[in-house]
Amino acid sequence: MTGHLQYLGGLYRDFKSLTKPGLVLWVYMSVLAGYALSKKKDLLISDMLYLFAGRTYLISIWSAKATPKCSVRVTARLLQGKLVSGNGFFIAFVMSLAGYIILFLAFNPLTAFTGLLCTILYVFAYTPLKKKSAWNTWVGALPGALPALIGGAAVVNHFPTESLYVSAVLYVWQIPHFLALAWKYRKEYAEADVHPIMKLFGMGQAPQSTITPENGITNEINDLYALLGWIGLGIPLVVFVIFLVIVIRFRESKNKQAKDSHGNTLLEILWTAIPLIILIVITVPTIRLIFKMETRPDLVKNPTVPYTTINGNIAESPRYLEMNVVAHQWWWEFEYVGMHERKPGEDKPVFTPLTKKVGANEIWLPLNVPVKFNITSEDVIHSFWVPRLMGKVDAIPGRINFMTFVVEKEGYYYGVCAEYCGASHALMRFNIVGVTEEKFNSWANWGQGEVIAESESAKRGQVAFQTCLGCHTMNGMRPFESRQVRLDRDMQEYMTQKEAFVQEEKAWHDEYMKDKSGHIFRREILTNPDRPVPPVKPVLYRDNYRTTAPDLTDLRYRKRLFASIHISSRDMLRQWIKNPPKVKPEMMGTPVIRMPAYEGILEEQTIDDIVEFLMTVKYADTPNEPADIEDLFAASVKTETADAGANVSSHTTDLAQASIESEKKTSTNP
């Protein structure tokens, strides 16, 4: 008998928890507010009891029936395998039916109908929208505002003006209330794939969010902006309070004569001193942070390179990685210069070049190693920005700017061009993959030696891909002979060539260049006699590779393609070769920077062979594949797809989804 009582007691506590008593209490308050404002006589205890019972049953059905897996605050403390969903539905149905009957018999049909409308909106509108749209909160605020109308309808059998006012206030109040809750539980909502309204205001867990710092420097930037935000919020609030006091205290009066005043010395001192203090509070941390952001590891005289961690502690690294970043319309080129290590007894850092030289749009970086970026541009002004790792730095043609930051956590970080640079500016993205030292080395050393194409299709693709090397580059495939020359601008460059690869397309006339010694370097492509020829800058070669188009050595391991706007797949790559503007909108420009469309030019089998080669290529000197980062990428995709604003557009999202589905079919039907 005792065991049965304990079981029933536990069951009662579980169901009581389902009804969310704290929330129910606030609903009572809103019902009674509408009731009291509409009442023409004293409030009766019996009326309160009726409303109490009816409202309890109504909230019970809301909580029990409408609690989905994505209801983060509820599932964190409820059920946990103790209750059967069928039992919950039965209890909720009985309580709801009893509540509607009480509202109908004790008051009127309108009251019961309004209660039913609350249930319908909450269960069949708000709850399904949680995982589909960020507008769910606007809908969810409706059942939260209707209780005031229930209270009013219970008195006069219609919706009185007073109840409508209360209901409107409740509706408006719920938006900032939910914003606060959504921010507090933002990580849980993101993991549960819930779309809170905060995403409509740019406050979501977006991949490029600046308010979710991932290292020490961005954490300090975020703290500084938070300080400015509180000051910016506090000043208007203080001014408003003072203004309100003045309006009330010194309002016009017929019976009071205003006193003459010559001023107030104390007040004048205060309104001079307080802004000065605020200015100091803002300026000092700002200047300190600017100097910290401009720190260059190569200029640090200490034996180690100091940096601030996400926890605010000072850490030191005996080495730093140096990289070159070159911005192009509309992609990013990364060159690994090498690792600088400060060893005991050495005056200068020991430089070790990395085996891997070039990357495009996606790079791997080791954890807890400062990285110095030398940033420039090939064409127009761009801006290099990784929101969660560092601020913005402009990429300017003919000039090198610097940036240094540390990746402290394993993850997949999104970067963008933050300076308008042409038609495809919005689609000029890149990714940084933060990995352990072991994973980084496995990736940095991969791609050396001769190219290996294993299947017959890949071998045919390798031959066909030779034409692509007129713009792209790939380790192990060197179609050009090169030699070093000195140009007029006094820079060391590599130029070629003895032979040229001709693409069957409309393009510019032949280009010629001469160095100081008179050697002629030629780039041959077909021309269109009917089209005028504008001036085109010469195409240069550097270190046996071109800078016209991205390097494709590690394309098969990139998780995203085409300046990181699409998830990598064979089908997406196939679509790109056929028609680039369809895959990447606004992909326009001169042929020097435009990927031509090969649909109708290359046979379908040839395109398939090229895709097979690029997605299966191996290298003789590095047979071991790089470390797997699928878990890091999957986590980033989950965060991105959970945020409505993270996708480039519905166009690119649809293409990516179609590509993934096609890839699944290909893998299941070889």
The pLDDT value given to residue 171: 84
Q: Residue 165: exposed, middle, or buried by beta-carbon count in 10 A (0-12, 13-18, 19+)?
A: middle
Read off the pLDDT of each residue in 525-541 and give the average, rounded to a whole number: 39
**Could you tell me the pLDDT band of residue 283, with boundaries at 50, 70 and 90?**
very high
Q: Could you tell me if residue 106 is inside a domain?
A: yes
Q: Could you tell me if residue 33 is inside a domain?
A: yes
Q: Could you tell me if residue 289 is inside a domain?
A: no
Residue of 253 and 232 predicted with greater confidence: 232
Q: Could you tell me if residue 568 is inside a domain?
A: no
Residue of 234 and 119 predicted with greater confidence: 234
Residue of 543 and 605 predicted with greater confidence: 605
The pLDDT value given to residue 77: 43
Residue of 193 and 270 predicted with greater confidence: 270
**Could you tell me the pLDDT band of residue 255, with boundaries at 50, 70 and 90?**
low
The pLDDT value given to residue 286: 92
Lowest mean pLDDT among 10-14, 274-278, 473-477: 10-14
Residue of 523 and 205 predicted with greater confidence: 205
Say how far apart CA 91 and CA 96 lie, in whole Å.
Answer: 8
Cα-Cα-Cα-Cα torsion 495, 501, 503, 509, nearest 10 degrees, comes to 50
Residue of 619 and 476 predicted with greater confidence: 619
Lowest mean pLDDT among 208-217, 226-235, 388-397: 208-217
The pLDDT value given to residue 23: 59
**Could you tell me the pLDDT band of residue 54, with boundaries at 50, 70 and 90?**
very low
Tell me what the pLDDT averaged over the chain comes to: 71
Read off the pLDDT of each residue in 197-221 and give the average, rounded to a whole number: 72
What is the separation of C-alpha 457 from the centre of its chain, rounded to a whole number of angstroms?
A: 38
Evaluate whether 31 touches 49 at the Cβ level (below 8 Å).
no
Evaluate whether 67 touches 122 at the Cβ level (below 8 Å).
no
Q: Could you tell me if residue 665 is inside a domain?
A: no
Strands 411-417 and 560-561: unpaired
Q: Could you tell me if residue 17 is inside a domain?
A: yes
pLDDT at 230 over 80: yes
pLDDT at 650 over 70: no
Residue of 208 and 226 predicted with greater confidence: 226
The pLDDT value given to residue 155: 76
Q: What proportion of the chain, given as a percentage, has pLDDT over 70?
A: 63
Residue of 90 and 619 predicted with greater confidence: 619
Say how far apart CA 376 and CA 142 lie, in whole Å.
Answer: 53
The 10s digit of each residue's pLDDT in 412-437 is 888 999 999 888 888 888 989 999 88
Report phi then psi at 409, rounded to 5: -125, 145
- Give the amino acid at 295: T
Cis? peptide before 330, omega within 30° of 0: yes
Indicate the DSSP class of residue 260.
Answer: P
**Could you tell me the pLDDT band of residue 218, with boundaries at 50, 70 and 90?**
confident
Evaluate whether 136 touches 197 at the Cβ level (below 8 Å).
yes
**Could you tell me the pLDDT band of residue 313, with boundaries at 50, 70 and 90?**
confident
pLDDT at 276 over 90: yes
Which position has the token pair 């704290």?
22
Report phi then psi at 598, rounded to 5: -105, 10
Provide the domain count of the chain: 1
Residue of 566 and 253 predicted with greater confidence: 566
The 10s digit of each residue's pLDDT in 140-189 is 888 878 877 887 787 778 888 877 888 888 888 887 777 777 777 766 66
pLDDT at 631 over 50: yes
Kindly write down the DSSP assignment for every residue of 583-598, as one continuous string. Answer: HSTT--S-TTT-PPP-
* pTM, full prediction: 0.64
Q: Could you tell me if residue 128 is inside a domain?
A: yes
Q: Could you tell me if residue 139 is inside a domain?
A: yes
Evaluate whether 364 touches 435 at the Cβ level (below 8 Å).
yes
The 10s digit of each residue's pLDDT in 341-382 is 877 767 677 888 877 678 888 888 999 889 999 998 888 899
Indicate the DSSP class of residue 429.
Answer: E
The 10s digit of each residue's pLDDT in 5-18 is 555 555 555 555 55
Structural domain range at position 181: 2-200
pLDDT at 468 over 90: no
The pLDDT value given to residue 582: 80
* Nearest partner of 449 among 310, 553, 522, judged by Cα: 553
Q: What proportion of the chain, given as a percentage, has pLDDT over 90?
A: 6
Q: Which residues contact 609 (CB under 8 A, 6 or more apart)?
A: 457, 458, 460, 461, 464
Read off the pLDDT of each residue in 383-395 and give the average, rounded to a whole number: 90
- The radius of gyration computed from the CA coordinates of the chain, to the nearest angstrom, equals 33
Evaluate whether 309 touches 292 at the Cβ level (below 8 Å).
no
Indicate the DSSP class of residue 43.
Answer: P
pLDDT at 55 over 90: no
Q: Residue 364: exposed, middle, or buried by beta-carbon count in 10 A (0-12, 13-18, 19+)?
A: buried
- Give the amino acid at 333: E
Evaluate whether 207 touches 200 at the Cβ level (below 8 Å).
no
The 10s digit of each residue's pLDDT in 478-529 is 554 433 333 333 333 333 333 333 333 333 333 333 434 443 333 333 333 4
